[in-house]
Structure 1
Amino acid sequence: MKKILVNVVHSDIEKSIVNKRLVEGIQDMKNITINNLYKKYPDFKIDVKEEQKLLLEHDTILFQFPMYWFSSPSLLKEWFDTVLAPGFAHAGASMLKGKSFAVVVSCGGAKKAFSTTGKDKKTVEEFLYPFEITAEYVKMNYKKAYITYDTETVLSEETLNKYTQDYITYVKEL
């Protein structure tokens, strides 16, 4: 069974509606390790060796976060800058080669806003291109992202349940 590392990058997961529910949906799966980066590193002082060790111990690395300004929360950028270091992930070493890289993102806006004719002019997948090219650069296999929409609205219990069930299925299929 493949081991999956879920790097949760939400600055206040306890107040989250969608991301918190998604984490709760997968937290008891046997092959899952939940790694809450904001809880571990509120000061942004990342333990690089610990994070690299976690990467090496897992087959699939999943990054779960809310979209902030058409990107990820700033801690994730810091994590990439420090953890995916030369000599570990690139520039002479490819310690992550062949592992899977997946993104789970919650978007405040509606799906129709994220299109060439919508207000944001691009799809979410286009905004996620930096993650795809990062995976390629460190020789990981980028997987199709799991995306939730309309998270700034009051979501029905039915919608939250559907998002959670779809996420469980997504993770199982990784």
Structure 2
Amino acid sequence: MQTLLLFAHTFWKDSKVNKALLQSAESLPHLTIHNLSTTYQDGNINTQTEIALLQKADKIFFQFPLFWFSTPALMKEWQDRVLTGILYSDNPKLLQGKKFGIITTAYGEKSSYDGHHGYNIHTLLSPINHSFGYLGCDVQEAFCIFSANVNTLPTQEYLAKLKD
């Protein structure tokens, strides 16, 4: 089973937590890590290349740090370009039956995302999940790493999520 991990980080060069997570996942078999931040430093996403990567995958993960309750801008651009490209292509059912999940890191504590500020973590991530569900993916529960700190990362749980 092929897994595609699509990753983006607005401040990739300064990342500690996500760099450590990605490094821990590099040795997993059947996993392709696709770092949008290094691939598209100019912001110009190659839709056909991205669709070809999706076509090979059985499972797709978005991984990103949660900034201002959303994805990094590059990941949103990816969604706009690639998902729209799929929807209006000759094969709009390309993602049908593939598994999709979100892995996100947040600097804040879990209680910051429990809804007492108006929205919980599942509500914040719902537009992404809905987009992939709309295109036929089997949407999995998100894996959120709260109070993200490089010294206390739940690496084994992270790797298990990628292997699911």
| TM-score category, normalised to shorter length | over 0.9
CA–CA separation in structure 1 for the residues paired with 2:89 and 2:82 = 13
Q: Could you tell me how far 1:127 is from its partner in structure 2? A: 0.4
- Aligned: 1:132 with 2:123: no
8 A contact 1:65–1:106 mirrored in 2: yes
CA–CA separation in structure 2 for the residues paired with 1:14 and 1:42 = 11
CA–CA separation in structure 1 for the residues paired with 2:40 and 2:125 = 24
**Unpaired runs of at least 5, structure 1:** none
- Aligned: 1:77 with 2:68: no
Q: Paired residue for 1:122? A: 119
Q: Paired residue for 1:105? A: 104
- If the length of structure 1 is used for normalisation, what is the TM-score? 0.87
Paired letter, 1:37: L
Q: The residue matched to 1:84 in structure 2 has which SS? A: helix
Q: Paired residue for 1:26? A: 25
- Aligned: 1:36 with 2:35: yes
8 A contact 1:66–1:72 mirrored in 2: yes
Q: Could you tell me how far 1:5 is from its partner in structure 2? A: 0.4
Task: Give percent identity, aligned residues only.
Answer: 31
- If the length of structure 2 is used for normalisation, what is the TM-score? 0.92
8 A contact 2:97–2:138 mirrored in 1: yes
**Unpaired runs of at least 5, structure 2:** none
Paired letter, 2:8: V
Q: Paired residue for 1:59? A: 58
CA–CA separation in structure 2 for the residues paired with 1:165 and 1:57 = 26
Report the RMSD for the aligned CA atoms in angstroms: 1.6
**Equivalent of 1:89, from 75, 78, 87?**
87
**Equivalent of 2:158, from 161, 164, 167?**
167
Q: Paired residue for 1:143? A: 140
CA–CA separation in structure 1 for the residues paired with 2:150 and 2:5 = 25
